[in-house]
Amino acid sequence: AALLPRPARGLTDRLYCGRRVCYEVLGVSRQASKAEIARAYRQLARQYHPDRYRGEPAGGEGAGAQAAHEKFLLIAAAYETLKDEETRKDYDYMLDHPEEYYRHYYHYYSRRLAPKVDVTIVILVTVCAISVFQFFSWWSSYNEAINYLATVPKYRIQATEIARQQGLLNKTKEKGKNRRSKEEIREEEEEIIKDIIKNKIDIKGGYQKPRIYDILLFQILLAPFYWCKYIAWYCWWIYCFTIKGQEYGVEEKLYIIRRYMKMSQSQFDSLEDHQKETFLERQLWIRENYEVYKREQEEELKKKMAMDPRWKRYRRWMKNEGPGRLTFIDD
């Protein structure tokens, strides 16, 4: 029944000024300008505002205040309808075409429920907030990696030797009036070692040094450039290796191997150099060789798990007791 056509009605109680015409409520014509509409609204608002109304209707002071309040709400609704050009255009269309009932409902509620703030601004602010959080989170991870490497004896000894060769540690030990406490000297030496580790060690993977171009905002802004670059690279790949049949270089071979392993660029970069050399020696860019290598890795993993004491205990527990089995053992 709700889908059946409804009888055409020019004015409804739930749209705009209800059964009243908004122009008649403000006492202006349909050709009135925005200034005339605003002037009429101010006059009526001063007259029927509940705090300023002094009328004495027959029903008593309480009934007069209530009537003034309802009249003021009707005046405000009429002004809200006519002060905006788009809303006024929709209202005039409803007066001229009362039979298009559902269209009027759609335009009325779509404007009332539309967000007051531009969606573009909301998206931009959200992307900027995510980008700022992302950047500082990456900096925190990078500093954690540096602090951890400063505790590893291998890297700490190398960084200390470099600092001594450059004469950085000797500067921390001063005499006379500039002499500092042991705690201050230790903190300064620690910062020097961390700075050398930052400059000498190239951390890759998830703990690498953050770059401004890696955050979400710049990724979105540079997306067209990346797409054009990828399309140009893909056309070059097809032309060189498919059409002309050239042999793969080292970079191309590593790219194919990375695609076979389903690893991201950062994950593949975090691998050791000897692992990449092993990949090249075994010619893993050839699909058949990679399948053999994959099966070998799976078999090796199964052997390690079979020899792992923790895995043996787990299998023994699954065999003897298992999850959900009732036992009377106290522990």
pLDDT tens string 178-232? 566 778 778 888 888 888 888 876 666 566 777 888 888 888 998 999 999 999 9
Residue 329 falls inside a structural domain: no
Co-location of 52 and 103 in the same domain: yes
Co-location of 194 and 131 in the same domain: yes
Task: Answer yes or no: are the C-beta atoms of 195 and 188 closer than 8 Å.
Answer: no
How confident is residue 90, by pLDDT bands cut at 50, 70 and 90? confident
Task: Answer yes or no: are the C-beta atoms of 93 and 86 closer than 8 Å.
Answer: no
Among 113, 134, 161, identify where a domain stops. 113
Co-location of 252 and 299 in the same domain: yes
Co-location of 124 and 97 in the same domain: no
Residue 298 has pLDDT above 80, yes or no: yes
Residue 200 falls inside a structural domain: yes
Co-location of 43 and 74 in the same domain: yes
Co-location of 204 and 271 in the same domain: no
- Rounded (10°) angle between helices 182-200 and 153-165: 100
Kind and range of the H or E run holding 143: helix 119-149
pLDDT for the residue numbered 59: 43
Residue 192 falls inside a structural domain: yes
Query: Looking at residues 7-18, what average pLDDT do you find?
Result: 63
Co-location of 315 and 254 in the same domain: yes
- The larger pLDDT score, comparing residue 289 to residue 65, is at 289
| Token output for 50 | 């509940």
Structural domain of residue 49, as residue ranges? 22-113
Q: State the average pLDDT for the chain.
A: 79
Could you count the other beta carbons within 10 Å of the beta carbon of residue 18?
14
- The percentage of the chain sitting over the pLDDT mark of 90, rounded to a whole number, equals 14
Segment 300-316, tens digit of pLDDT: 888 887 777 777 777 77
Task: Answer yes or no: are the C-beta atoms of 257 and 278 closer than 8 Å.
Answer: no
Query: Looking at residues 107-135, what average pLDDT do you find?
Result: 82
Domain count, the chain: 3
Residue 131 has pLDDT above 70, yes or no: yes
Co-location of 95 and 160 in the same domain: no
Co-location of 206 and 266 in the same domain: no
- The larger pLDDT score, comparing residue 63 to residue 165, is at 165
150 phi and psi, to 5 degrees?
-70, -20
- The larger pLDDT score, comparing residue 295 to residue 8, is at 295
Q: What is the CATH number of the domain that holds 49?
A: 1.10.287.110
Segment 253-273, tens digit of pLDDT: 999 999 998 888 877 877 888
Residue 225 falls inside a structural domain: no
Co-location of 197 and 127 in the same domain: yes
Residue 40 falls inside a structural domain: yes
Among 210, 228, 261, identify where a domain stops. 210
Co-location of 39 and 85 in the same domain: yes
Query: Looking at residues 116-138, what average pLDDT do you find?
Result: 86
Q: How far apart are CA 155 and CA 147, in angstroms?
A: 11
How confident is residue 5, by pLDDT bands cut at 50, 70 and 90? very low
Segment 230-244, tens digit of pLDDT: 999 999 999 998 898
Query: Looking at residues 44-63, what average pLDDT do you find?
Result: 64
Among 113, 132, 152, identify where a domain stops. 113
Residue 217 falls inside a structural domain: no
Q: How far apart are CA 65 and CA 310, in angstroms?
A: 82
How confident is residue 133, by pLDDT bands cut at 50, 70 and 90? very high
Segment 147-169, tens digit of pLDDT: 888 888 888 888 888 888 877 77
How confident is residue 55, by pLDDT bands cut at 50, 70 and 90? low
